[in-house]
Structure 1
Amino acid sequence: MSLPDRKEAEVRRLLVQRTAEPVPADLAERALADGARLLRRRRVLRTVLWGVVLAGLLALTAWSLAARPWSEPPPTTTPPAVDW
């Protein structure tokens, strides 16, 4: 028997046995509730992450407006006197 024929024969044997366990009656409802809970958690996590990103951008903007990091820092010493 070749490999595909052997696999097909094994599948056919398993289908003929039909010793499947019974499925709980409320399986669909539980799966729906689990899926809804998963979606809620993802939505809350996404909202929290966006809030953190926006708060970080707001803090960066406030700091840059207050500190003005792009401007030249004030001199720490006086310039040398020039004798003309």
Structure 2
Amino acid sequence: MNRARREDAARRIMEQSPPRVPPELYADAVRRGDRMLRRRAVARRAMWLLLCAAVVAFTVWALTVQPWVEPPSETTPPVTGWEGW
């Protein structure tokens, strides 16, 4: 059987009757789809919660440590007794 005849035979088979899905397969697909959607929603909520917790933790750290303030110099000793010059 050559390619054209195989394509014609496949086309005739597909055009004869609409495809039927077994009921148990449909119920399985719906159940899996619902489960997948629920998992995605839970994962999305968890990621938002994690992001918010990270923002709060960073804000608290930044307010307590104040990394933008230059630390006092500890390499030179304080100058004392210079008034007499």
| TM-score of the two chains, using structure 1 as the length reference | 0.70
SS at the partner of 1:26?
helix
**1:37-48, aligned counterparts within 5 Å?**
37-48=35-46
Percent of pairs identical after alignment? Answer: 36
Which 4+ stretches in 1 moved above 2 angstroms?
8-11, 14-18, 22-25, 77-84
How many residues align structurally? Answer: 76
Give 5+ residue unaligned stretches, structure 1.
Answer: 1-5
Question: Which of 9, 12, 31 is the matching residue for 1:13?
Answer: 9
Q: Which residue of the partner structure matches residue 71 of structure 1?
A: 69
Distance in structure 1 (CA, Å) of the matches to 2:65 and 2:41: 36
Q: 19, 27, 33: which is aligned to 1:35?
A: 33
C-alpha RMSD of the superposition:
2.7
TM-score after normalising by structure 2: 0.70
